[in-house]
């Protein structure tokens, strides 16, 4: 199996100034073609640490993919260090020089000497032309190992990965007759990780040595990631199907019905295919449910609108919740959640109405209604009901859990 390590270079990543999205994207694309990702390493713009990182990674890697540090300024040190690391010298690359000239010409910019200096590359490397920027990528091959240096700018890096590096790695896998690793994810909702694990039981009874099952919980639900290895993707697919079939026989009631889609996409697809419409009434989530639904392209086909009614005044004026309901039972109650869900459905004339009302926390709780108490209402033309949930003390997590719990309730009704 081709072993790949990812080395991200830059002080801005080390100090948390930017999120390291490059490493995540590279790992995902390399995994898709069957390589094994063995290390993610981040190092600052420091000569000694970068050299030590390369020495460490090359002990167990077939491919080291580096991003960052290829710019023209003094803090961009990757090229100079690779030059020293491989005992090489700089040469002017005519293609890179031409690309830099063209880049500036199209933008009607004056070309600086610093920009043109990026066309000077180590003589031992294979140049990857940069169609979207000025810093060319570089590929070194030493002692049966690839050292790949790419720009840190995400769209420049991605263009080189897709059009040059991924084909290179696929060719290397085939040439070496390497085995491949493949993963499949099963999306579940409406069940905690520990309960899911109890239903599945001991995976060693139906999985072979070297195969893996990982539980990946989030506020959206629990994802199950199955991993297998084989000599080709066909054999991996066959084995993944066998394991998936066994798992679904144990947890069918909690598996999302549309294959590899997550909860929000599943609910939206079900609404679309069943030709049903939806409206929402939100209190403690402040519009998060509506935002989550409209994050899916084409939501206007089924999502009509909603109301954010944070105060009791807004609940009565905008949603026609009765004042006596609020006085007798409170804003966070089964009765209020039901009125919110039913009334928003009638106001927007939709097939379904969802409501969320709760105490997000960390303040505002009482012994009877502690922080994290949330009522979620669901109304259809046939019936209206509400369910109580107690999520915990973290405000942001409570709001997220409320959104995805509400979507899961709608999913269950749509599937039924």
Q: Provide the b/e sequence for 269-282 (b: ≥16 CB within 10 Å).
A: bbbeeeebbbbbbb
- Do both 286 and 377 map to the same domain? yes
d(CA 363, CA 359): 8
Domain end, chosen from 254, 289, 315, is at: 254
- Do both 211 and 275 map to the same domain? no
- Do both 369 and 394 map to the same domain? yes
CATH code at position 70: 3.40.980.10
**pLDDT tens digits for 75-86?**
899 999 999 999
Low-confidence ranges of the chain (pLDDT < 50): none
Contact 249, 218 (CB under 8 A): no
d(CA 58, CA 350): 60
- Do both 303 and 357 map to the same domain? yes
Among residues 8, 6, 11, the alpha carbon closest in space to that of 20 is found at: 8
Predicted TM-score (pTM) of this structure: 0.80
Please report the pLDDT score of residue 342 as a whole number.
98
d(CA 188, CA 222): 5
Contact 196, 175 (CB under 8 A): no
Residue by residue, what is the 3-state secondary structure of 275-315? CCCEEEEECCCCCHHHHHHHCCCCHHHCEEEEEECCCHHHH
Please report the pLDDT score of residue 379 as a whole number.
98
Kindly report the backbone phi and psi dihedral angles of residue 212, in degrees, each rounded to the nearest multiple of 5, phi listed first: -135, 150
- Do both 270 and 313 map to the same domain? yes
Retrieve residue 280's tokens.
């929402």
- Do both 307 and 337 map to the same domain? yes
Retrieve residue 42's tokens.
């981040």
Retrieve residue 110's tokens.
């004056």
In sequence order, which residues have a C-beta less than 8 Å from that of residue 316 and are 6 or more positions away? 322, 323, 326
- Do both 304 and 403 map to the same domain? yes
Retrieve residue 360's tokens.
């997000």
What is the separation, in whole angstroms, between the first and last Cα of the chain? Answer: 44
Contact 333, 375 (CB under 8 A): yes
- Do both 37 and 131 map to the same domain? yes
Domain end, chosen from 153, 176, 199, is at: 176
Other CB atoms within 10 Å distance of the CB of residue 360: 24
Residue numbers of the domain that contains 210:
180-254
Among residues 227, 223, 192, the alpha carbon closest in space to that of 211 is found at: 227
d(CA 277, CA 353): 9
- Counting the structural domains of the chain, the total is 3
**Degrees to nearest 5, angle at CA 45 with 40 and 47:** 100
Q: How far is CA 297 from the centre of its chain?
A: 17
DSSP 210-264: T-EEEEEEETTEEEEEEEEEESSHHHHHHHHHHHHHHHHHHHGGGB-SSTT--HH
Pairing mode, strands 373-380 and 137-142: unpaired
DSSP 343-356: HHHHHHT-SEEEEE
Please report the pLDDT score of residue 361 as a whole number.
93
**Degrees to nearest 5, angle at CA 370 with 366 and 371:** 115
Domain end, chosen from 229, 254, 279, is at: 254
Contact 150, 65 (CB under 8 A): yes
CATH code at position 201: 3.30.70.2860
Pairing mode, strands 180-187 and 212-218: unpaired
- Do both 35 and 164 map to the same domain? yes
- Do both 196 and 159 map to the same domain? no
């Amino acid at each position: 199996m081709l072993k790949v390590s990812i080395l991200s270079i830059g002080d801005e990543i080390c100090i948390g100034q930017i999120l390291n999205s490059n490493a995540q994207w590279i790992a995902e694309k390399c995994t898709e073609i069957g390589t094994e990702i063995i290390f993610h390493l981040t190092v600052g713009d420091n000569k000694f640490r970068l050299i030590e990182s390369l020495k460490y990674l090359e002990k167990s890697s077939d491919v080291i993919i580096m991003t960052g540090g290829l710019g023209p300024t003094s803090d961009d040190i990757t090229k100079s260090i690779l030059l020293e690391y491989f005992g090489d010298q700089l040469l002017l690359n005519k293609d890179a020089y031409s690309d830099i000239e063209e880049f500036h010409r199209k933008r009607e910019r004056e070309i600086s000497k610093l920009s043109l200096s990026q066309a000077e590359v180590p003589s031992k490397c294979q140049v990857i032309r940069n169609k979207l920027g000025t810093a060319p990528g570089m590929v070194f091959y030493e002692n049966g190992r690839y050292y790949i240096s790419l720009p840190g700018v995400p769209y420049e890096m991605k263009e080189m990965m897709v059009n040059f590096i991924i084909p290179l790695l696929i060719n290397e896998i085939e040439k070496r007759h390497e085995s491949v690793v493949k993963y499949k994810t099963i999306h579940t909702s409406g069940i905690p990780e520990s309960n899911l694990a109890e239903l599945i039981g001991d995976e060693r009874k139906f999985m072979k040595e070297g195969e893996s099952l990982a539980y990946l919980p989030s506020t959206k639900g629990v994802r199950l990631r199955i991993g297998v290895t084989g000599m080709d993707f066909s054999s991996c697919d066959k084995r993944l199907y066998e394991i998936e079939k066994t798992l679904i026989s144990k947890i069918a009631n909690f598996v999302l019905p549309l294959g590899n889609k997550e909860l929000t996409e599943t609910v939206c697809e079900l609404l679309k295919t069943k030709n049903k419409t939806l409206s929402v009434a939100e209190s403690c989530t402040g519009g998060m449910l509506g935002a989550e639904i409209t994050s899916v392209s084409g939501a206007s086909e089924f999502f009509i609108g909603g109301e954010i009614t944070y105060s009791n005044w807004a609940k009565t004026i905008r949603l026609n919740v009765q004042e006596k309901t609020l006085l007798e039972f409170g804003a966070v109650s089964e009765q209020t959640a039901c009125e919110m869900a039913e009334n928003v459905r009638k106001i927007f004339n939709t097939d379904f109405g969802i409501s969320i009302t709760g105490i997000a926390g960390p303040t505002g709780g009482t012994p009877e209604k502690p922080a994290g108490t949330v009522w979620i209402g669901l109304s259809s033309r046939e019936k209206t009901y509400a369910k109580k949930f107690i999520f915990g003390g973290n405000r942001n997590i409570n709001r997220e859990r409320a959104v995805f719990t509400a979507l899961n309730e709608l999913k269950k009704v749509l599937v039924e």
